[in-house]
Structure 1
Amino acid sequence: MSLRGWSAHDVAVERLSTSYAAIPAGAPVRLAKRTSNLFRPRAATTAPGLDVSGLDGVIAIDVDARTADVQGMCTYEDLVDATLPHGLIPYVVPQLRTITLGGAVTGLGIESTSFRNGLPHESVLEMDVFTGAGGVVTCRPGDDLFDAFPNSYGSLGYATRLRIELEAVPGHVALRHVRFDDAGLLAKTITEITETASYDGVRVDGLDGVAFEPGEYYLTLATWSEQGGPTSDYAGQDVYYRSIQQRETDLLTTYDYLWRWDTDWFWCSGAFGAQNPRIRRLWPRRWRRSDVYQRLLGLDRRFSIADRLDRRAGRPLRERVIQDIEVPVANLAAFLEWFDDAVGMRPVWLCPLVSKREWASYPLEPGQVYINAGFWGTVHVGPDAPNGPRNRAIETKVLELDGHKSLYSEAFYDRETFDQLYGGANLAAVKGRYDPHDRLTTLYDKAVKRR
Structure 2
Amino acid sequence: MCRHQHDAAVARLRAALVALPQDSPVRLSKPSSNLFRFGGRDRAGGLPTDGLDTVIDIDADARTAEVGGLITYEKLVAATLPHKLMPAVVPQLKTITLGGAVAGLGIESTSFRAGLPHETVLEMDVLTASAGLETVRPGDALFDGMPNSYGTLGYAVRLKISLEPVGRAVEVEHRRFDDPAACFAAMEEIWAAGEVDFLDGVVFGPDEMYLSLGRFSDSHDPTSDYTGQSVYYKSLRHRRRDLLSVHDYLWRWDTDWFWCSAAFGVQNPLVRRVWPKNLRRSDVYRRLVALDRRLGLTRRVDALRGARHEAVIQDVEIPISSAARFLERFCVDVPIRPIWLCPLGLRGEHEWPLYPLRRGEHYVNFGFWATAPLGPGQSPDYHNRLVEDLVDRLGGHKSLYSTVHYDREDFWRRYGGQAYQELKDRYDAQRRLPDLFEKVGTDSETR
Q: Tell me the TM-score range normalised by the shorter chain.
A: over 0.9
Residue 105 (structure 2) pairs with residue 108 (structure 1): yes
Residue 121 (structure 2) pairs with residue 124 (structure 1): yes
Q: SS where residue 223 of structure 2 aligns? A: coil
Q: State the distance in 2 between where 1:398 and 1:220 align.
A: 24
Q: SS where residue 319 of structure 1 aligns? A: strand
Q: Which residue of 2 aligns with 1:422?
A: 415
Amino acid at match of 1:322: I
Q: Which residue of 2 aligns with 1:141?
A: 138
Residue 325 (structure 2) pairs with residue 334 (structure 1): yes
Q: Which residue of 1 aligns with 2:231?
A: 239
Q: Residue 319 of structure 1 contacts residue 386 of structure 1 at CA under 8 Å; is this kept in 2?
A: no
Amino acid at match of 1:248: R
What fraction of aligned residue pairs are identical, expressed as a percent?
Answer: 55
Output one character per residue of 1:121-141: Cα deviation in whole Å (capped at 9) or x when no partner: 001000000011211100000
- C-alpha displacement of 1:47: 7.5
Of residues 369, 377, 390, the one that matches 2:383 is: 390
Q: SS where residue 245 of structure 1 aligns? A: coil
Amino acid at match of 2:89: V
Q: SS where residue 351 of structure 1 aligns? A: strand
> 1:304-383 maps to which residues of 2 (within 5 A)?
304-312=296-304, 314-355=305-346, 356=348, 357-382=350-375
Q: Residue 94 of structure 1 contacts residue 111 of structure 1 at CA under 8 Å; is this kept in 2?
A: yes
Q: SS where residue 326 of structure 1 aligns? A: strand
Output one character per residue of 1:83-109: Cα deviation in whole Å (capped at 9) or x when no partner: 001100000000000000000000001
- C-alpha displacement of 1:49: 2.7
Count of matched residue pairs: 442
Distance 1:46 1:185, change over 3 A: closer
Q: Which residue of 1 aligns with 2:149?
A: 152
- C-alpha displacement of 1:383: 7.1
CA RMSD between the two structures: 1.5
- C-alpha displacement of 1:417: 1.0
Distance 1:155 1:248, change over 3 A: same
Amino acid at match of 1:40: R
Q: Which residue of 2 aligns with 1:201?
A: none
- C-alpha displacement of 1:310: 2.9
Residue 217 (structure 2) pairs with residue 220 (structure 1): no
Output one character per residue of 1:281-323: Cα deviation in whole Å (capped at 9) or x when no partner: 11111111111111111222122222333333x2521100000
Residue 431 (structure 2) pairs with residue 434 (structure 1): no
Output one character per residue of 1:240-274: Cα deviation in whole Å (capped at 9) or x when no partner: 00001111000000000000000000000000000
> 1:23-42 maps to which residues of 2 (within 5 A)?
23-42=20-39
Q: Which residue of 2 aligns with 1:75?
A: 72
Q: Residue 133 of structure 1 contacts residue 436 of structure 1 at CA under 8 Å; is this kept in 2?
A: no
- C-alpha displacement of 1:382: 5.0
Q: State the distance in 1 between where 2:271 and 2:410 align.
A: 46
Residue 283 (structure 2) pairs with residue 291 (structure 1): yes
Q: State the distance in 1 between where 2:372 and 2:154 align.
A: 35
Of residues 168, 173, 197, the one that matches 1:171 is: 168
Output one character per residue of 1:142-200: Cα deviation in whole Å (capped at 9) or x when no partner: 000000110000011000000000000012000000011111111111112222213xx
**Larger displacement relative to structure 2 (46-55 or 182-191):** 46-55
Q: SS where residue 237 of structure 2 aligns? A: helix
Output one character per residue of 1:4-30: Cα deviation in whole Å (capped at 9) or x when no partner: x21111101100011101210232311
Q: Which residue of 2 aligns with 1:277?
A: 269
Q: Residue 76 of structure 1 contacts residue 98 of structure 1 at CA under 8 Å; is this kept in 2?
A: yes
Q: Residue 184 of structure 1 contacts residue 333 of structure 1 at CA under 8 Å; is this kept in 2?
A: yes
Amino acid at match of 2:413: Q
Distance 1:38 1:46, change over 3 A: closer
Q: Residue 18 of structure 2 contacts residue 130 of structure 2 at CA under 8 Å; is this kept in 1?
A: no
Output one character per residue of 1:393-447: Cα deviation in whole Å (capped at 9) or x when no partner: 1111100010010000010111111111110110110111111211110111111
What TM-score do you get using the length of structure 1 for normalisation? 0.95
Q: Which residue of 2 aligns with 1:266?
A: 258
Amino acid at match of 2:422: A
Q: Which residue of 1 aligns with 2:18?
A: 21
Q: State the distance in 2 between where 1:44 and 1:358 align.
A: 31
Q: Residue 318 of structure 1 contacts residue 385 of structure 1 at CA under 8 Å; is this kept in 2?
A: no
Q: Residue 315 of structure 1 contacts residue 380 of structure 1 at CA under 8 Å; is this kept in 2?
A: no
Amino acid at match of 1:49: G
Distance 1:97 1:44, change over 3 A: closer
Output one character per residue of 1:351-375: Cα deviation in whole Å (capped at 9) or x when no partner: 0001133210100011211000000
Q: Which runs of 5+ in 1 are unaligned?
A: 199-203
Amino acid at match of 1:328: P
Residue 197 (structure 2) pairs with residue 205 (structure 1): yes
